[in-house]
């Protein structure tokens, strides 16, 4: 399964390895934790298992848990992502899990079905590949297992989605078999998928010096090439799924947090504004936070992102993680 990120990196090949910068970043993070006296969170291997599918994952708990704590199920973007949502040297979900644990919040993250099974995904999914078999069904099972944890506060189970995971968070919450207190949507796409794909290709092409007319032709050609690689049922659900309508139909009691960065070229302020327009009147428990300088991974960046930036080590904004933690603890 190809992601829009995979598509854009196919268009422009960048291979950046920065071992020295990565070492320095890791060293600084370790030093910060040592100086601040943060206790190391507890991590346990888990398996998200249902309907013949088994996905290895990680449960991260606050150190020395003595009471029931909120639990967040983390849902990645499109493509065969691992549990840490690894992109280049960056592991945003692992980083976020550690920070939330230090705020007294547990998390579950797991390797996606498309990561674990690869070309066998359709075979283990009843011959069907769509948003539900790629993302939703496994997240629903993870929520069920989260609620069964002895450490869990079952009144505070949340879904945190990034990119496609954020777009599908309203659907996941609606289909959940156990109560969901809220959804946290980081860089949630609201526009039609293929409009976004074309916009991304067009933007990348222009950053490489292509004229507007040439960029437009490339965008259409690349979009059609990508479409040709996807199963018919996947394309059908892409066309039919209305994220905004699904969110509007959700319970008024469902808390929602939408976070968007202004230097994200994949999901943009246009998407953020669509979410806010659709929900701020009908859902009083929905919150919307826009950060001018953050990229798609919620990292500060002094300019609009380009694909090469994903291969540079960075740290998720502490303002965002604090916002998420405070929202959960509510």
What is the token pair recorded at 73?
A: 């199920």
Q: Which residue has the tokens 């139909």?
A: 249
Residue 38: pLDDT band (50, 70, 90) is low
User: What mean pLDDT is reported for the chain?
Assistant: 90
Mean pLDDT score, 112-121:
97
- pLDDT at residue 95, rounded to an integer: 98
Catalytic choice (163, 271, 283, 295): 163
Q: Indicate if the pLDDT at residue 251 is higher than 60.
A: yes
Is 318 catalytic? The answer is no
Mean pLDDT score, 94-100:
98
Is 84 catalytic? The answer is no
Catalytic choice (111, 132, 138, 264): 264
Find, among 260, 282, 101, 113, the residue nearest to 191 by Cα: 260
- How far is the C-alpha of 106 from the C-alpha of 98, rounded, in Å? 9
Domain range list for the chain: 4-329
Find, among 79, 46, 39, 78, the residue nearest to 62 by Cα: 39
Sheet with 53-61, edge to edge strand ranges: 42-50, 53-61, 106-110, 69-75, 152-162, 182-186, 255-261, 286-291
- pLDDT at residue 138, rounded to an integer: 98
Mean pLDDT score, 93-113:
98
Catalytic choice (132, 271, 296, 317): 296
Asked if 81 and 1 count as a contact pair (C-beta separation under 8 A), the reply is no
pLDDT tens-place string over residues 221-243: 999 999 999 999 999 999 999 99
Q: Indicate if the pLDDT at residue 112 is higher than 60.
A: yes
What is the token pair recorded at 100?
A: 């939330």
Torsion, Cα of 305, 308, 309, 310 (10° steps): 110
- Of the two residues 6 and 161, the one the predictor is more confident about is 161
Quote the pTM value: 0.89
CA atoms within 13 A on the CB side of 233: 11
Is 178 catalytic? The answer is no
Asked if 62 and 107 count as a contact pair (C-beta separation under 8 A), the reply is no
Tell whether domain 4-329 is in CATH 3.40.50.1820. Answer: yes
- pLDDT at residue 31, rounded to an integer: 39
Q: Measuring CA to CA, how many Å separate 146 from each of 61, 73, 255, 273?
A: 12, 7, 18, 32
């Amino acid at each position: 399964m190809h992601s829009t990120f995979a598509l854009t990196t196919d268009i422009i090949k960048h291979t950046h390895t920065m071992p020295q910068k990565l070492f320095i970043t890791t060293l600084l993070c370790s030093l910060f934790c040592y100086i601040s006296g943060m206790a190391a969170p507890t991590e346990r291997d888990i398996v998200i298992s249902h309907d013949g599918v088994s996905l290895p994952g990680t449960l991260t708990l606050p150190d020395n848990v003595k009471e029931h704590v909120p639990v967040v199920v983390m849902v990645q973007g499109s493509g065969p992502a691992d549990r840490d949502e690894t992109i280049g040297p960056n592991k945003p979900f692992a980083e976020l899990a550690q920070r939330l644990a230090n705020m007294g919040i547990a998390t579950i993250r797991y390797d996606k079905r498309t990561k674990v099974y690869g070309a066998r995904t359709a075979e283990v999914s009843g011959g069907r590949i769509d948003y539900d078999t790629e993302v939703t069904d496994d997240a629903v099972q993870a929520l069920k297992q989260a609620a069964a944890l002895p450490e869990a506060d079952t009144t505070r189970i949340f879904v945190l989605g990034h990119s496609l995971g954020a777009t599908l968070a309203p659907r996941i919450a609606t289909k959940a078999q156990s109560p969901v207190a809220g959804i946290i949507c980081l860089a949630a796409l609201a526009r039609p998928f293929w409009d976004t794909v074309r916009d991304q290709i067009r933007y990348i092409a222009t950053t490489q010096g292509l004229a507007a007319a040439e960029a437009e032709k490339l965008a259409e050609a690349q979009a059609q090439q990508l479409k040709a690689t996807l199963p018919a049922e996947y394309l059908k659900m892409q066309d039919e799924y209305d994220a905004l309508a699904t969110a509007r139909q959700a319970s008024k009691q469902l808390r929602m947090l939408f976070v968007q960065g202004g230097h994200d070229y994949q999901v943009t302020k246009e998407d953020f504004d669509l979410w806010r327009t659709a929900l701020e009147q009908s859902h009083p428990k929905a919150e919307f936070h826009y950060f001018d300088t953050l990229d798609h991974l919620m990292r500060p960046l002094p300019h609009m992102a380009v694909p090469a930036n994903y291969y540079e080590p960075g740290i998720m904004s502490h303002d965002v993680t604090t916002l998420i933690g405070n929202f959960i603890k509510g």
